[in-house]
Amino acid sequence: MNSGAESIEGAIKLARKNGGDGRHVVVSALKSFHGRTLATLHATGKLEMHGAFQPLPDGFRHVPYNDIEALEGAIDSSCAAVLLEAVQGEGGVNVADADYLAEVRSLCDKHNLLMMIDEVQTGLGRTGKWFGWQHYFDPEGDVRPDVVTMAKALGNGVPIGAIWAKKEVAFTAGEHATTFGGQPLAASAARAVLRTMEAIDAPQMAKSAGDELMGKLLTVPHVLDARGLGLLIAAEIDTAAIGKSAGEVALSCLEAGLVVNGVTASALRLAPPLNVSKEHIDEAIQILTNVLGGES
């Protein structure tokens, strides 16, 4: 495919195909983000984004993230799949609790649902492992999601998206396709990206740079807390003390040469390149210190 949203569309189709008659509902999390096409927008749990685009396609239900009881409570005979991010990127860099995804796996087994993980933002090394879900499952074991979607980093700027699915639940030829899907330029770019990422051990780079960035963020004035995995990090800002929202802080950072975004009213997201240097991390910390410290 050509994008993240198209890969999620494919996952939703897999859910419906495997669910069969009367079982088509995909349960996803509040604050999740899965794309901007009509179906992926409805899967998206940022409900404020739905308003202008009604009616959205039927078959989506949202539950609080990291709440296994709420998930179990939402499952009935109309459900076909659970769709989750390992770390909610757009929703505020909310990391899955230690046992959550394994419990989701058990629930999916119990109710015969597909467990689908959206790795569009977290995939390909960003979190310090190749895929975010790998933080939660034994890497040697065969307990894993049924469907994994990816895009963004796969082409390193060249549009491409992809779905992994277990053989038993995958598409057969012709069920999901697009003119440019798998076209030689994008596929060559993805092969080159993967070769390079493997050669430099990009997940390990993200892990060590992420540890360093996280540690240094906690020393910046008015940073109350930092959370995330690898190089997908949010810094919680004392917005009351500085009298600025995270969005306004992000704008000041941009003017000073640092690209971050206000991912909630009070949190800044930092997602630098996986090969970010120590010098760039120090420069970023200096800019943030100037922007935040200067306002106290």
Ligand X SMILES: Cc1ncc(COP(=O)(O)O)c(C=O)c1O
Q: Using CB under 6 A as the criterion, which residues of the chain lie in contact with ligand X when the complex forms? A: 3-5, 8, 33-35, 85, 89-90, 118, 120-121, 151
Q: Cβ(40)–Cβ(95) under 8 Å? A: no
Q: Is 156 left (phi over 0), alpha (psi -120 to 50) or beta?
A: left
Element (H, E) at 18: helix 4-19
Q: Looking at the DSSP assignment, which residues form a beta bridge with residue 115?
A: 82
Q: Helix/strand/coil (H, E, C) string of 140-157?
A: CCCCCCCEEEECHHHCCC
Please calculate the CA angle 147-73-68 and round it to the nearest 5 degrees: 60
Q: Cβ(33)–Cβ(44) under 8 Å? A: yes
Contacts 24+ apart (CB under 8 A), 130-137: 130/203, 131/86, 132/85, 132/86, 132/87, 132/96, 132/229, 133/86, 133/101, 135/86, 135/96, 135/229, 136/86, 136/96, 136/98, 136/100, 136/101, 136/102, 137/101, 137/102, 137/105
User: In this structure, how many other beta carbons lie within 10 angstroms of the beta carbon of residue 129?
Assistant: 21
**118 carries an active-site annotation:** yes
- Which member of 31, 129, 152, 207 is catalytic? 152
Residue with the shortest CB distance to ligand X: 4
- In whole angstroms, what is the distance from residue 31 CA to residue 57 CA? 19
Q: Is 264 helix (H, G, I), strand (E, B) or coil?
A: coil
Q: Catalytic residues, which ones? A: 33, 118, 152
